[in-house]
């Protein structure tokens, strides 16, 4: 049986073969008291053992359909990520006899704070627009995770240099909802338009992506 690190490395390569643009791994225990969980007074992970493999899919402006939200179905991009996760879990079971499962998207349903997980996994760093800035893709990446019943000996790879240190603030100027008016990101203001569209009963809702599409980060 290969060492845990070898299996994790093989799983990350397999995730990319299955269609993920980026992938990383983080010990589940690191997310229990991750920054987002502490800020919300919640637990950041339903598991304190095992490993989360974080899958990322690029959502470039050329594919706006990936972000269209539908009641009871979420977005097509998320469904693609869930499919990659299920295939990865099946591969881990068949090749190594290791139990793995796709993690729910919402924290309240047993999910994890995916942006924290992506940062801890070395995929990227949190940007001023409250999105993970990923080398080559900027903030135009969506995440999903697979829990693997395998302890990960690594502590996570270091992320790239702080992505917004010398930026002119393209995202804050582009936001139509004033989510950065106080100098800090306001989740309530950010989601106001989408929540209003949901309350109005719209079947398909497009996320506001002004801040992420304004971001010039590519390397």
The string of pLDDT tens digits covering residues 38-68 is 989 999 999 899 999 999 999 988 888 888 8
**Residue 78 to residue 161: CA distance in whole angstroms:** 28
pTM (two decimals): 0.90
Q: Are 153 and 140 in contact (CB under 8 A)?
A: no
Contacts (Cβ under 8 Å, ≥6 apart) of 183? none
Quick: pLDDT tens for 78-88: 999 999 999 99
Q: Is the pLDDT of residue 161 over 70?
A: no
Q: Is the pLDDT of residue 144 over 90?
A: yes
The residues with which 74 forms a beta bridge, in sequence order, are: 70
Mean pLDDT of 104-128: 93
Residue 105, SS3? coil
Question: 13-17, 111-115, 173-177 — which is least confidently predicted?
Answer: 173-177
Contacts (Cβ under 8 Å, ≥6 apart) of 89? 100, 101, 102, 146
Structure tokens at 21: 């643009």
For residue 162, what pLDDT is reported? Answer: 72
Sort residue 94 into left (φ over 0), alpha (ψ -120 to 50) or beta: alpha
Selected residue with higher pLDDT from 69 and 45: 45
Contacts (Cβ under 8 Å, ≥6 apart) of 110? 46, 103, 104
When pLDDT is cut at 50, 70 and 90, the band that residue 165 belongs to is confident
């Amino acid at each position: 049986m290969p060492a845990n690190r070898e299996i994790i490395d093989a799983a990350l390569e397999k995730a990319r073969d299955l269609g993920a643009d980026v992938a990383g791994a983080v010990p589940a225990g690191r997310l229990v008291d991750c920054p987002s969980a502490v800020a919300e007074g919640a637990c950041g992970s339903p598991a304190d053992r095992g490993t989360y493999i974080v899958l990322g899919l690029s959502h470039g402006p050329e594919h706006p359909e990936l972000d269209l939200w539908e009641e009871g179905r979420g977005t097509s991009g998320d469904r693609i990520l869930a499919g990659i996760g299920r295939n990865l879990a099946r591969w881990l079971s068949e090749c190594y006899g290791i139990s793995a499962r796709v993690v729910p998207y919402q924290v309240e349903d047993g999910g994890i704070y995916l942006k924290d997980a992506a940062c801890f996994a070395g995929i990227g760093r949190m940007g001023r627009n409250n999105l993970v800035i990923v080398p080559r893709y900027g903030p135009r990446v969506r995440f999903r995770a697979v829990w693997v019943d395998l302890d990960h000996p690594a502590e996570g790879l270091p992320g790239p240099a702080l992505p917004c240190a010398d930026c002119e603030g393209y995202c804050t100027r582009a936001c139509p909802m004033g989510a950065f008016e106080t100098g800090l990101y306001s989740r309530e203001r950010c989601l106001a338009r989408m929540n209003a569209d949901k309350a109005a009963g719209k079947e398909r809702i497009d996320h506001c992506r002004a801040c992420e599409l304004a971001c010039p980060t590519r390397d």
